[in-house]
Structures are given as structure tokens and as C-alpha cells.
Amino acid sequence: MERVKRRDFIKKAGLAGGAALLAGCASPQETPAPAVQTRKQYAWKMVTTWPPHYPILGEAANHIAKWTEEMSGGQLKIQVYGGGELIPPLEGFDAVSAGTAEMCHGAAYYWAGKARATQFFASVPFGMNAQQMNAWIASGGGLALWEELYAPFDLLPMPAGNTGVQMGGWFNREINAMSDFHGLKMRMPGLGGKVISKAGGAAVLSAGAEIFTNLERGVIDATEWIGPFHDFTMGFYKAAKYYYYPGWHEPGTVLELLINKSAYHSLPKNLQEIVRAAAARANAWVLSEFEAKNNAYLQTLTKDHHVALKRFPDQVLKTLRQYAVEVVDEVVASDAMSKKVFASFDAFRNKMNGWAEVSEKIYYLNLSA
């Protein structure tokens, strides 16, 4: 702050000196008016799909607001509203599009009812992991497609977090065969939810704050959320018997900062870049927090609370993968933008596979040997 004040003082002194010099060379009638500087202040609202101050996810929204204010020297202030505080949790897309709020922190698959292709910018079943999704968005053409998709809604998207590989979910029945999905009511959004429906179950979309009550009361038979840290804090082990892995449905879920495009472009260029910098910092911070905490809480669940940790059978995973291909094919066949986005996604994934085979895959196989 002292440096800012000193810079402003020097700048003003220079302007004053210049004005004095001009005044000395001009006639009294030609003396220029003193220069006036203005620094417009901006007050924005951010809504989220998460409960207020929710660990990691809600914290990320709070951090974005804090970092933006600090980097802008207080020129851009953002008030964060958790899900339900200003609007219902799953109405952020419309709220930001209409300008009711300037920002929303959430995940793109929540907006599949607005545009089907949004789902590909969150997670694809059996798709890419966190670092691959980040690479596609930042360096593989994904961001340009994302912006193109949102432009008709006067929205601008930015990646602002990633959960990493998720868990397969909590169940009140064992999953030994595909027949165990028949009639199963499971909370699962996005393309993964469509796979559950194809498997004979019923996919239910609900906000995070509603999941435990729905599971406890039998409104749903199973749920996925994220991973051990959040699943423990949500108390799912008190309402379900079995904890399954791997999270085939969400191997690297991108979280987004959704911004009203007109509001964004009304900002000075430096504030626009500050918003992008805050989103990028959140993108790294969220994944780091999950990676740092998930294993410790997995041990707490299994050792302290005796949770039954189970792996989906190979044949179940094989069939789910087949259904996932069918689901994506159906979405792509019925929506031109989905076809365009998935073509980019799939081409990038195939390009990444060769490197993954000789890097991460072989490393992890030998690590566990």
C-alpha cells in the first residue's frame, strides 16, 4: 500500500510540475485546469452451488473474493453468497446470465438443461483426470470451445478448481453385478447420471446440502459426492453401509467460475486479469487441498468408523464403460455443439494416452507392486 501511495504521489507531483511549467509559458487566460484522477470502485456478487463457507469448495469461492480484493487494492470487492442465501443452489447459471449476480462458483454439469455440451467441461465417465482436463482446457483448445458455448448466454467461464479422481459412492446395497443397479435411486449429476439410468437405476440431481437427509430418509439408495474428506464431513458413513471405488463417473471434475460477460468487459483490463489470476490460483488450490486431505480421511473412515471399503467388480466397470460410450454417443448425435466439443475432448484424450502409458500408468503399477 505504501508503494501505491508513493507512486500516486510521484505521479501527481509530476502532473503538478508539468502544469506549473505550462502555466509559466502561457498567458493568464490560457492557464489549464488542474488534472483530476478517478478510480472507480466495483461491488460484485458471487453465488455458489455449495453451502455457505463449505470446506474447500465454498472456501475457494471466498478465497477468490479475498484475492481479487487484495490484488486490486480494494477496487473490486466481491460478496459471496452460499447456495440458498441469495438464490437456490442450482440457479446460478440463470442468475449470472441475467445479471442478478456477476459470478457463480459451481460445476458445468449442473447446467446440462441449458446446453448439453456443458457436461463435457465438468467430467466425462472414464474420461481424463485432473491434469489432463487442465491441459485440454488451457492448452488443447478446450477453453475457446467453452467460451463459445457460453457466449449466447452472456457468460464467460473459467476453470476454478478440480476435485481429482472421486470415489464411486455410498450404497445401502452391495454392487456385485449390473442387476444390483436395477431400481437403484442414486444421486449423480452429469453424464454419469445418464449411465446409471441406462444401467436400470434412476439418477437424482440434488444440491450438496440435501444429500445426507435424502440418503438417511431413503429418498435415495445411494449417492456420490467427492471423496473421503468431504464424505466424512458430510457424515455419509452414518447413513450408508458400503463405500465403493473407483470414481469411474468423475475421474477429474473441473469446477468453474461463471462470470457475466458484459460485467467482465466493463472492468478495466487490469481488473479483468486480476479475476483470471484469482480463478487460476483457486484452480490449483482446490486440487491441492483434496490431494492433501483425502487419504487421511479415508483411513479415518475405514479404521475409526469401520466403513466397508469395496471395489466395483471388473465386469461391472466394463459394462459401465460400455454404457458410458453409448451415453456420449447419444448426446453427440443429438446436439451439434456437443459433437464439436467432444471431438476436441476425444482427440486430446487419445493424444494424451500414449504419454500416460509410459509415465503415470507404469509408475503407479510399480509403486503398488
Average model confidence (pLDDT) across the chain? 90
Q: How many CB atoms lie within 10 A of CB 27?
A: 7
> Which one is predicted more confidently, 32 or 90?
90
Tens digits of residue pLDDT in 277-299: 999 999 999 999 999 999 999 99
Q: How far apart (Å, rounded) are the C-alpha atoms in residues 155 and 159?
A: 13
Q: How far apart (Å, rounded) are the C-alpha atoms in residues 220 and 26?
A: 82
Tens digits of residue pLDDT in 173-209: 999 999 999 999 999 989 999 999 999 999 998 888 8
Q: Are 213 and 229 in contact (CB under 8 A)?
A: no
Write the CATH number of the domain with boundaries 169-251+294-334: 3.40.190.10
Using only C-alpha atoms, the chain has a radius of gyration, in whole angstroms, of: 25
Give the β-pairing of 76-81 and 42-48: parallel
- Upper half-sphere CA count for residue 142 (Cβ side, 13 Å): 27
Reduced to 3 states, what is the DSSP secondary structure of residue 38?
A: coil
Q: What pLDDT shows up at residue 361?
A: 85
**Closest to 296 in 3D by CA, of 242, 364, 229, 234:** 229
Write the CATH number of the domain with boundaries 43-164+252-291: 3.40.190.170
Q: Start-end ranges of CATH 3.40.190.170 in the chain?
A: 43-164+252-291
Of 34-43, 98-107, 125-134, 356-365, least confident by mean pLDDT is 34-43
Q: Are 64 and 221 in contact (CB under 8 A)?
A: no
Tens digits of residue pLDDT in 301-320: 999 999 999 999 999 999 99
**How many residues are given for the chain?**
369
Interior/surface letters 202-226, b for 16+ CB within 10 angstroms, e for the rest = ebbebbbbbbbebbeeeebbbbbbb
